[in-house]
Amino acid sequence: MLNATNFDVSKLRDIVQIDNSRIAIAKDRQKKLWVGEKPDKPPIFISAPLTKEQEQIPDPDYKQAFYNSDLMLCSQMRGFFAAANSGSDSVPSIRANMGTGNLLSLLGRNQEVFPDKMPWFKDHFTKEEVAKLTSDNIRIRGDFELGLKHIRRFKEVVPEVPVYCVDNQGPFDLAHLILGDALFLEVYDDESFVRHLMELTVELSIRGVKWCKETIGEPIDQMHHGNEIYAENMGIRICEDTSAIVGPDTIDKFIIPYTTKLTDAFGGSWVHYCGYNEYLSDRLREIPNVRGINYGLIPGKEDIHDKVFEREMEKFADSGKVFYGTWPRREGESGKDYLKRMHYWASQGSLLLSAGYAIGGEDGFSGAEDVLDFWYSL
């Protein structure tokens, strides 16, 4: 791999070779899945190794990439090629990877940036400061403005590569970032204050995502996301990580109404959270414009997900929603048996499998093409 100072990013134009016919198939399969239609084959996402030429693209640390548009582009393009090389149903895309708290810069405060981990927001607002905030305080600046600069550079260097939005989180997650753990007391002590905060975070998300989409040139109700997803009936991904650790009363009062409002502003959403909260998932599935849900796996706690697999997939099937992501392998389960188990639900239109974390070289497949041939033959 070349040192970053020796790499000319304009060379990326020569390395990018998008198979438009394959991308068209992937888009069609995903588009149909998200609207409840049956595609010709259930889509699946996997990754593949980089070529020797692609390995020469610099791989900067988080801090180097955060402040440098070209290094951010290099970092993102390495992931882009890993998806593109697989020939799977991914629609590869890139973003300015600005951290979970970058939208808070629209209120005038930035995150801390680290070389070895993602940025994190620590400069919480006091209750008194939040009470004075209005939508008039939301302006393009700081980390978010830097992210838009990165996006413009991406579009200049590799205009054919789809770009997706910076991290936006969800209304309750943003409220937690803004106020810190004091939020967990305020939901009981001062309902009117928390509702003021939630209205602010919804507006923060709506404006931030719209400004990002305007820079990208993406329709309000369509999306690329995560180097995999493509949809024409939803325009936003919403994170509910904090929402997953609170109880039903808080979910009903301070999460579902505001997540619904944000979802509807973009013609639909899919929702991610790490862990598993059955009540939260049940309530999210009741929101008409929520198209699907993703549970991030908790390392060392994969058994939690496996215990609820069948029950959850039945709920997704009954609600007409899509589970997007990875379910863990069972102990001793072969790669082929795992794919067969997943394919049953994928063929029902209830699962969009991202198999990269579950299928490896030890599974007897000769490569990505072999995995795809097996999946499509089922």
- Give the model confidence (pLDDT) of 174-228 as tens digits: 999 999 999 999 999 999 999 999 999 999 999 999 999 999 999 999 999 999 9
| pLDDT of residue 119 exceeding 50 | yes
Give me the helix-helix angle, 256-265 and 278-285, nearest 10°: 40
pLDDT class for 75, splitting at 50, 70, 90? very high
pLDDT for the residue 300: 82
pLDDT at 362: 75
Residue in 57, 97, 98, 61 with CA at minimum distance from that of residue 81? 57
> Exposed e or buried b for every residue in 252-290, given b needs 16+ CB within 10 A?
ebbbbebbbbbbebbbbbbbbbebbbeebbebbbebebb
Can you give the pLDDT at residue 2?
44
Question: Average per-residue pLDDT in the chain?
Answer: 96
Q: CATH for 4-377?
A: 3.20.20.210
How far is residue 111's CA from residue 128's CA, in Å, rounded to a whole number? 21
Q: What does the pLDDT look like over 133-182, one tens digit per residue? A: 999 999 999 999 999 999 999 999 999 999 999 999 999 999 999 999 99
Looking at residue 58, what DSSP letter applies? -
Which pLDDT band, with edges at 50, 70 and 90, does 5 fall under?
low
Question: What is the sign of the dihedral through the CA atoms of 369, 371, 374 and 375?
Answer: negative
Q: How far apart are CA 123 and CA 131, in angstroms?
A: 16
State residue 81 phi and psi, 5-degree precision.
-70, -35
pTM for the full model?
0.96
Domain ranges for the chain, please list them: 4-377
Tokens 């599974």 correspond to 363
Residue 1: the pLDDT is 45
Share of the chain above pLDDT 90, in %: 91
Give residue-wise pLDDT tens across range 23-56.
999 999 999 999 999 999 999 999 999 999 999 9
Q: What is the pLDDT of residues 324-353, one digit of tens each?
A: 999 999 989 999 999 999 999 999 999 999
pLDDT at 355 over 70: yes
pLDDT band at 299 (very low <50, low <70, confident <90, very high): confident
To the nearest 10 degrees (0 to 180), the angle between helices 191-216 and 142-157 is 20
Copy the structure tokens of residue 11: 């060379």
